[in-house]
Every structure is written in structure tokens, then in C-alpha cells.
């Protein structure tokens, strides 16, 4: 394995893994991360010069691990953390992929709108729209009143 690829993986893998776990769930996220990094290894000459390789590999991971008509499940039967809404996983599963990605990465991981936009290859206002709509749906689903 070339040393520059090893350095690339050490730099990119943690963020790629967290974002794919957030969007696809733990099992599919793990598979998607592995698929994306395997693709990067096979196509290293293309990846090496890319402006946003993490965003590209995020898409590769999503595509390679896609299972048709199966929504990710974010419910853990053994979850007993009192600081987290127990129905949050079900509510997140009710969002579109774009909304769930925006909500989890911005509010869950503290990413900026620009970082999420670059990851998804869309414009910042689109991320803002997905975030607002996703939060609105979550508030309705969890019966939480919006702040004034």
C-alpha cells in the first residue's frame, strides 16, 4: 500500500465513517465505509487529485451499500440513556435521506452547513432547507414545540 494512500486513509476515514454511520446506521455505515475505501484504493490515481475526495467517497459508499427499499433503523433495544429522546431513532428514520443527513451532521456532529454541502455536492441554501424541514418534521413527530 503506498504511503500517501495510508496517510489519506488516516486523514479521511474518521469523518467518512462518522458521516456514513450517521446517515446509514452502524451496520450499513460500516459496510459503506469499507466499500468507499476499497474503491479509493482501486482508483487511487483518480482520488489523489480530487478537490473533495471525502464527499466523493461518501457518495461511493452510499451507492455501493445501497439496498433497495430498506430504510435504516436507528432503534436500539438496550438503549437506556436518560439524556436522549428514546423515540429519536424512529423519528429520524421518518426523514428523507437528505434531511436526516443535514440534521445529524449539523446538530449531532457540529458540522457547518458548508461542510455538509461539500460532502453532498449541493449548495449551502439546499442544506439549510433540508435542515429546516427535517427539524420541523422531528418536532412534529416528537411533539416538541418550536422555540419562539
Fold of the domain built from segment(s) 81-148: Arc Repressor Mutant, subunit A (1.10.10)
* All cell numbers assigned to 72: 435504516
| Other CB atoms within 10 A of residue 91 CB | 21
What pLDDT digit, counting tens, does each position of 22-78 carry?
Answer: 888 888 888 899 999 999 998 888 887 788 888 889 889 888 876 655 555 555 555
Helix then strand count (H, E) for the chain reads 8, 0
Task: Indicate whether this model's pTM tops 0.75.
Answer: no
- Listing DSSP states for 86-124 in one string gives TTHHHHHHTS-HHHHHHHIIIIIT---HHHHHHHHTS-H
Mind listing the pLDDT tens digit for each residue in 74-132? 555 555 555 667 788 888 889 999 999 999 999 888 889 998 998 888 999 999 999 99
Position 134 scores a pLDDT of 94
Distance from C-alpha of 110 to C-alpha of 103, rounded to nearest angstrom: 10
Amino acid at each position: 500500500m503506498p504511503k500517501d494512500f495510508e496517510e489519506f486513509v488516516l486523514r479521511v476515514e474518521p469523518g467518512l465513517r462518522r458521516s456514513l454511520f450517521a446517515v446509514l446506521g452502524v451496520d450499513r455505515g460500516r459496510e459503506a465505509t469499507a466499500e468507499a475505501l476499497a474503491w479509493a484504493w482501486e482508483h487511487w490515481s483518480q482520488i489523489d487529485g480530487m478537490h473533495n475526495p471525502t464527499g466523493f467517497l461518501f457518495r461511493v459508499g452510499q451507492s455501493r451499500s445501497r439496498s433497495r427499499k430498506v430504510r435504516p433503523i436507528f432503534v436500539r433495544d438496550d438503549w437506556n440513556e436518560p439524556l436522549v429522546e428514546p423515540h429519536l431513532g424512529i423519528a429520524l428514520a421518518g426523514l428523507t435521506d437528505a434531511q436526516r443527513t443535514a440534521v445529524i451532521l449539523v446538530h449531532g456532529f457540529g458540522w457547518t452547513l458548508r461542510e455538509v454541502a461539500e460532502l453532498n455536492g449541493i449548495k449551502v441554501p439546499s442544506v439549510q432547507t433540508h435542515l429546516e424541514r427535517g427539524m420541523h418534521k422531528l418536532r412534529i413527530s416528537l411533539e416538541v414545540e418550536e422555540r419562539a
